Chains A and B, each alone.
Chain A
């Protein structure tokens, strides 16, 4: 059984502060982390490997420093790591990202199960997983909590908005994993040593993937950011006056007039 876990290195948005004067993000000194839900995906892969055996390959695309994220994943227990890093991959939207990841997975020596975090905290798109599955022409199940493997078949527990569904499907398969379905483990001391001393990260460029340069990175991205702006504040409204009872009555009247209650 070969598991591929796709991860993304993202700025820790819990640490992102906003400049109160300019309204822009202050990114200085903001640490980079593995996207939280990608750790849930890696944890599910680690559990499945304990149950059914096999090998876990972590895959990411990003600048050279994204290797830190791969090292952390190796220290958590992944077996191999692949970094896609190339100036030609830069500026990719979700479609171009799924193309590069798809080419990399096809280059690997076979795969059975691809696991992705549901979405990344910097973009919140949740699009790369399904786009990757379509690229590879394999089935996908999103919001997955657990998987039972039996030969070429998989029984998948999918979280729904009001419960769960059990879905029977075949391998190879792509699943996306949301937060809350498991508690990811932390790197162990021996894990950290082996991540840095024994395990290797493969570095693949666009040439290694034989990628069509019109299909990856900025050139392969149908969507373009036209502009970025800080949301305008709603503006200071009406400060109600008087005794608490008067203020509440005036509020309830206004809300009723506006038909919000």
Chain B
């Protein structure tokens, strides 16, 4: 998409300038001009009140893309265990395939992984492309990229989705280059445009402070990596059947230039906030570093992780890798409990994608309450011990139920 200014309509009113996220418009001689930093994002078009900005298509279809059909999910597995994000993608993929009235397929690669096919059918796949070979035992970029690309070229799916994991983000760009098609990174929203049938791929940019919807109109397949934990896992339909399509693996060891010599597992040293389903976050309102111990205690009761606002990290109360927000991590847990965090926009940018937000703060005007599903205005010194008691009670009740 290329943007052009219709000079006759432009009044030099500057409305478009603040609408541009790339600072790519300037007014010269009372007319808007585009700078080199323009990415063709179209954000300015709606801002213009005078129909003076237009987008024109610059790409024409190079091949018949109508023959591309079906939705595929890369069924990432390690040591015979399906990655959770692969299950989430099958759930979402099922919906996309139903909307398009097309089939959903999973691509399963590895050694001795046939046992996973029933699970993939139960999760919604109509078809499993099964590439089994000793050469695919460990994930290696080239072996996986060559096998998957050859299969895509042959079968021509319309959409291919990958988890935005270490593996997915290493593999998918390599495949996109081999196929010369587009790839959108780390999506948090996927839909089908009802008019065009195109995949609408929505992702955060600038640390989550803005969202962008990306399309891939003239190249196939449309490919995206998808952030883990965003989509729910589908309901498992035991006994659901599908078709297994064996995939010939033609890659030879000499085609692959990397060898894994040693795999070293270390004790968990870094926190993985991005994948935590429950997060308890503390801010300067906690008052002192000892209160973070209390949060840790609560987190272990809930099976969650502890995070912190920038203010708390700068005060030295929490480690930098626990910081959530624009300059820290972007998280999307099922539950985010903000304790003593005022909720500046930079913090909210990192956590407002959480499914359920609880805010506890003694200042009833704190901006955090504007994004909270549940708000408690009270002193944390009172609330946290009560919360701990209630959660401990809940856990012991669950325990009793399990015994009886």
Q: How far is the CB of A28 from chain B (nearest CB, A)?
A: 8
Interface flags, A206-244, vs B, CB<8A=1, else 0 = 000000000000110111111111110111111110001
CB distance from B99 to the nearest CB of A (A): 18
- Indicate if B59 sits at the interface (CB-CB under 8 A): yes
Write out the residue numbers on chain B whose beta carbons fall within 8 Å of the beta carbon of A221: 182
Tell me the minimal C-beta distance from B126 to chain A in angstroms: 27
Is the CB of A251 closer than 8 A to any CB of chain B? yes
Q: A130-B173, A225-B1, A255-B335 are in contact. Are A123 and B185 (CB under 8 A)?
A: yes
With A167-B258, A234-B352: A227-B1 Cβ-Cβ less than 8 Å: no
A249 to B377, CA, bound (A): 14
Interface stretch, picked from B66-74, B84-92, B128-136, B207-215, is B207-215
Interface positions, chain A 148-162, Cβ under 8 Å from B, are 155, 160-162
Of listed B200, B346, B355, B376, residue having the most chain A CB within 10 A: B376
A98 at the interface (CB under 8 A from B): yes
Kindly specify which of B33-41, B101-109, B117-125 makes contact with the partner chain. Answer: B33-41
Q: A141: which B residues are within 8 A, CB to CB?
A: 141, 258
The interface residues of chain B lying within 8 Å CB-to-CB of A19 are 18
Q: A234 to B373: give the CA distance in the assembly, Å.
A: 8
* One of B151-159, B233-241, B260-268 contacting the partner: B260-268
Pairs A–B under 8 Å by Cβ, sample size 9: A127-B172, A134-B173, A160-B263, A162-B266, A164-B266, A169-B259, A225-B1, A229-B211, A248-B390
| A188 close to chain B: CB less than 8 A | no
Give chain A residues whose Cβ lies under 8 Å from the Cβ of B346. Answer: 18
B residues near A, CB below 8 A? 1-2, 18-19, 21-23, 35-43, 58-59, 141-142, 145, 166, 169-174, 176-178, 180-186, 200, 204-219, 257-266, 268, 272, 278, 302, 326-327, 334-335, 345-346, 348-349, 352-353, 355-358, 364, 369-379, 382-383, 386-387, 390-391, 394
B63 to chain A, nearest CB (A): 12
Question: Do A131 and B211 touch (CB < 8 A)?
Answer: no
Checking B23, B186, B355 against A27 with a beta-carbon cut-off of 8 angstroms, the contacting residue is: B23
Closest B-chain residue to A259, C-beta based? B334
Give the contacting residue for B21; candidates A25, A134, A163, A247; CB below 8 A.
A25
Closest-by-CB residue of A relative to B178 is: A134
Decide if A140 touches B141 in the complex (CB within 8 Å). yes
Contact partner of B205 among A18, A122, A134, CB < 8 A?
A122
User: Counting CB contacts under 8 A, is A7 at the interface?
Assistant: no
* Given A219-B59, A222-B182, A224-B214, A260-B371 contact (CB < 8 Å): no
Closest residue of chain A to B380 (Cβ to Cβ) is: A244
Interface centre among A161, A164, A165, A227 (most CB of B within 10 A): A227
Separation of A189 and B41 alpha carbons in the complex (Å): 41
Q: Is the CB of B374 within 8 A of A251?
A: yes
Known contacts A231-B208, A244-B378; A226 and B42 CB within 8 A of each other = yes
Contact at A252–B391, with CB atoms within 8 Å?
A: yes
Answer whether A252 and B18 are a contact pair too, CB < 8 Å, given A139-B258, A223-B215, A225-B212: no
A261–B207 CB distance below 8 A = no
B34 to chain A, nearest CB (A): 9
**Cβ-defined partner of B369 (8 Å) among A121, A135, A239:** A239
Whether B185 lies near A130 (C-beta < 8 A) is no
**Are A168 and B261 in contact, CB atoms less than 8 angstroms apart?**
yes
